[in-house]
Chain A
């Protein structure tokens, strides 16, 4: 696809600005009524979903040209999908996220992309991860857990740790704890250790489609060779890549992609994990974009023209993962779940996505701070989530601003409630 293929989508925009707010039926206050970090931070219309489409059309029609400043506008966006969802509440003919992705691919093709992203992609090609960490250390997180090595033996479930969990030592206890829980529940688990590579999802978001495809094909072939029937990940970015991006790129996965949250929920419901310890905790749940609205299963391209499209053929965020984490939290004795205003399909992004954490770290922190303020407004003591990128940014931001809010991975909460010792929870 090319930008030209989305001309009709861009031209369909009538500039109503609905893409800047949470869906109006769910608007509960003026304070938390906005949905798009980018327009909220930078304010010019071109920083909204609508404005980016207007710019794209302008360039396509030769009215204006791509340059460094325009590229900056295109990339100062987490690709969180909130604008798309807001637009889709009453429009079916605009695939807004696709346009945003296409604009980035166009930037890469024309050589107008952020230097920070070029560095990240170089690191990805060199070390197989987005963080530029040594590829040989990728499997270190799993040492001592007794996980099967899927390069040599067959396992029912292959765990994809993802780049962030693999190298972020502060987050290791959550993932390692989750693995122990699954093992206790009798799940047959394996991991690729140092052979695991990036899912390619972030590269795709940055506009580097060739690299994304390479990594996707590599991962898919490894999964196929392993013979696993489930591809399990605790990384929401990876989950969205497996569920949506791979089929979109035509990469077939021979295993069912599952997020850890889904598997934990299933095991708790089956009684294979028992939540018996009381946790006197007031917590709020942050829906990661890539687990929620961006974590929908892929649906094929609408076969009709772009004049009218059936709703069931559009990406509306509705089929993301929302109930499972909430059900899990409500299953924890003593835990009080206090919802924020912007939740589910209309959740506010953590700030890290779309390469913003690399190219615009201040903007990422600004976005996270906004979310933490919203969490604090609920009276919660802890914000719980299930994405390592969200967690990392939230932890850093809470520390930087000395906010009285703990950040927990959902698996830590489940682990603690199942009787294990977890720092800050027991």
Chain B
């Protein structure tokens, strides 16, 4: 239990109304089923939660934590177990009161935001200026600042707007000792336009590939790149998601493409990258849309076997969905011609889905604002993902196939819901040279038989990743990190040194940043442990 003296200091920092240590209130920060691969539903209850409203208040809280040797962790919306505390009596900084868009620099195409601005809000404001912002695949309710400073962050717009990490410019960072560091051009009082210099860039330190998941000080403001948007300021229409009538604007075209082989599909993706067309892009098989939009029907179908679903997918093999966006009808026509040339030359097809009114309406702002993917909860209530590393486009199919093995095993055992086969979520970036692939596992965390599966499933997918020479992004998870670390130059030991240099008192909660945790070895079958041992012998350091 947090001492009265420490709590008094926190109250002094943020005001009485903005600090609590009431157990029931704290538990609303401890319920974290999502991405909780330990098979638990609650994470550790914080010792206190505070609501700072400014950088100064964040500093005051962090300094109080340093004085009292209290671990702290900051979060924005706080979705997922990685946002939860991993130690006793952690002080959680809920940054909800820091929710303003500080500036949109229209000319230089960037926005400066506080941590609790969500992607949907920033996009709504950017659209009014003919600009757009990257929204992560997780959805528009996520914080773009959190994505850019502390996580990886791909989305279906990554083909045009890249990943969250690429969009980070200037940053205001409250270090773990309470000092404020302005990274990049704001550090020289030169505005927010650049994230580097003077001197060596600190962006790699701040976030590296996948970020510190809130375990490395507090990011209180960040400048994010914005992109051109030739569409309307508002997409008019009624309805919410499934009944949406917010149709795709005239400057957009939505195509569903399919190819005779994986190779042809990959080649098309590369050539689309070379041609620099495409505003939104996602590889999902046809049955996945059925699963998202009509989960009840999907479960009935899959309950009778997979044949029908396989037939549906065979009708559109090796597919992707691409949205083209252009300033003029002529440019749009040119992009369409390029796309058709590419698909034709590879023996594929490009179906204009805008010709189907229902699809045009449903996919309008649902795609552009990335709302449609939230329907993923409708199938089984929750899903897990292997959160693949980000690899060459060619490797995405191989990765998908590798991940399918363990998944099928758990579906057979009744530990996961049957989702009808391979259901990857793949997006592209870096001119389509790279892709991000997630294999989705559907389950219901309210069912014990599903919950029991998770830790072993994480073990299995990590093994499969190593065997593929891939690095799963899920390495942020302490158990996965324990398995991965010896095979990847003990990367987290380096991270620990970096962390220690900035956090001499060790008060940032590094649980999801650098820590390791043993899995429940007794529950892991011996042959899998042996597989890991062999890999460690072969590649370990």
Contacts and interface: CB of A to CB of B under 8 A. Distances in A.
B19 to A, nearest CB: 10
B498 interface: no
B117 A66 contact: no
A171 B233 CA distance: 40
B241 A23 contact: yes
A254 B183 CA distance: 70
Interface residues of A, number: 57
Nearest to B79: A16
Contacts of B22: 67, 69-70
Given A23-B241, A89-B241, A12 B25 contact: no
A76 to B, nearest CB: 12
Interface in B201-252: 234-235, 237-244, 246
A17 B78 contact: yes
Contacts, number: 182
B375 A90 contact: yes
B446 A11 contact: yes
Contacts of B122: 30
Contacts of A46: 24-25, 28
B29 interface: yes
Interface residues of B, number: 70
B77 A43 contact: no
Interface string B237-279: 1111111101000000000000000000000000000000000
Interface string A39-75: 1001111100011101101110001111101100100
B31 A54 contact: yes
Contacts of B243: 318
B284 interface: no
Given A12-B446, A14-B377, A30-B121, A51 B241 contact: no
Interface stretch (A232-240, A304-312, A324-332): A304-312
- Where chain B touches its partner, the secondary structure class is loop
B239 A69 contact: no
Contact of B120 (A24, A70, A91): A24
A338 to B, nearest CB: 14
Contact of A15 (B25, B49, B78, B241): B78
Interface string A16-34: 1110110111111110010
Given A21-B118, A90-B374, A90-B378, A14 B34 contact: yes
A8 B238 CA distance: 31
B141 A16 contact: yes
Q: Counting chain A CB atoms within 10 Å of each CB, which of B23, B122, B238, B365 scores highest? A: B23
Contacts of B25: 44, 46, 55, 69-70, 73
A223 B474 CA distance: 63
B27 A43 contact: no
Contacts of A54: 27-28, 30-31
A92 interface: yes
Interface in A335-387: 344-346
30 contacts: A12-B381, A13-B31, A14-B377, A15-B32, A18-B141, A23-B371, A24-B120, A24-B141, A25-B244, A25-B371, A27-B124, A29-B121, A29-B124, A30-B125, A45-B94, A50-B28, A52-B28, A55-B24, A55-B25, A57-B31, A58-B23, A63-B42, A66-B24, A70-B24, A73-B24, A85-B240, A90-B378, A92-B378, A307-B447, A318-B243
Interface of A: 8, 11-18, 20-21, 23-30, 33, 39, 42-46, 50-52, 54-55, 57-59, 63-67, 69-70, 73, 85, 89-93, 306-308, 310-311, 318, 344-346
Interface of B: 17-18, 20, 22-34, 41-42, 45, 49, 51, 77-79, 94, 96-97, 100-101, 117-118, 120-122, 124-125, 128, 139-141, 234-235, 237-244, 246, 295-296, 299, 365-366, 369, 371, 374-375, 377-382, 444-447
